[in-house]
Amino acid sequence: MSDPLILDRLTVRATGATLLDAVSATVAPGQLTAVVGPNGAGKSTLLRAIANILPSTGGVRIGDADLKALKPIERARRLAYLPQAHELAWDISVADMVALGRFAFGAVPGRLSAADEAAIAQAMADTGCADLADRAVTSLSGGEQALACLARVLAADTPVLLADEPAAALDPANQYRVMECLAALARNGRTVVVVLHDLSLVAQFADSVLWLGDGRLIAQGPASRAEFERHVPALFARAPGFATDGSNALYFRRDCDS
């Protein structure tokens, strides 16, 4: 089991607005933690601040290690991050792109160690993109690109994994595959933090939830029916036609099954 991810008054400000307001939380390893909230709540900002892509104040630690004080390469060995949008500039093959995930472990394109090869093959098998290995990344569909980029992040094989909407571009079968894969990583002791909009996926796969609204952490708790009934209506009530009476089957699938 790896160390917990600890956020200490993490704050992001940009051009006068506070995008993330003193978020403090301890995210336990061995769990899939979903970040849930309406558009503009600061979910992606939270992940980007943890991944140190956005300048922030406050602390981010994994156990005793202060992530912000680490060199980029040291940080990359502890934490991997899948962004929401994928910027793929050249016609490199999927296999070469996934291999970039091993950069922090000294992998050089064209010269990979046996450990690198094994991690890459595993990641591509887990995400179902082994068949795409020789395709140019720019020739892939949006969903295939999302799977290939997830494979790259998984190939890094880090104790902490952040993923921003990993299932958004995927068909239902691939959504299930990806969420199952992330849940399996969590069961194996990783710290997995996933931004999700699809509440049915949250209900089905998440162990705990960080509820975010207006850049603040509203609550942190288990992904239980009681927590859903408490937070979903409050956070999403502004959406027209949203069912607030607890009858919305979307986020109660787990209970419907039982």
Partner 1 sequence: MMLRLNALLALLLLLAGALALIIGPNGISPHLIADWLRGSDPAAAIIIADIRLPRVLAAAAVGGALGICGAALQALTRNPLAEPGILGVSAAATLGATATLYFGLAALSPWILPLGAIAAAAIVTALLAAVAVRTQGMASLILTGVGLSSLAGALMALILNFAPNPFSLSDLVNWTLGSVANRSLSDLAISAPLMLLGALLLLSQRANLSLLSIGEAAASTHGLDGNRTRLFVIAGTGIATGASVALAGAVGFVGIVAPHLVRPWTGHDPGRALLPSAWLGALLLVLADVFVRLLPTDNELRLGVVAALAGAPIFMAIVLRRGRTKHV
* Residues at the interface with partner 1 (CB under 8 A): 48, 51-53, 71-73, 75-77, 79-81, 83, 86-93, 96-97, 100-101, 103-104, 108-110, 136, 138, 149, 152, 156
Residue number with CB closer to partner 1 (163 or 223): 163
- Is the separation of the CB atoms in 124 and 100 below 8 Å? no
10 Å CB burial of residue 95 (0-12, 13-18, 19+) is buried
Residue number with CB closer to partner 1 (30 or 83): 83
Among the listed residues 187, 196, 225, 250, the one whose alpha carbon sits nearest the alpha carbon of residue 32: 187
Residue number with CB closer to partner 1 (81 or 211): 81
Distance CA 52, CA 68 (A): 7
Query: Closest separation between CB of residue 103 and partner 1, Å?
Result: 5
Query: Closest separation between CB of residue 172 and partner 1, Å?
Result: 26
Query: Closest separation between CB of residue 9 and partner 1, Å?
Result: 22
Query: Closest separation between CB of residue 35 and partner 1, Å?
Result: 17
Largest CA distance in the chain: 58
Query: Closest separation between CB of residue 73 and partner 1, Å?
Result: 4
Residue number with CB closer to partner 1 (101 or 215): 101
Question: How far is CA 258 from its chain centroid?
Answer: 28
Instruction: Identify the three-state secondary structure at position 108.
Output: strand
Which two structure tokens, joined as six digits, stand for 200?
Answer: 């049915």
Residue number with CB closer to partner 1 (140 or 199): 140
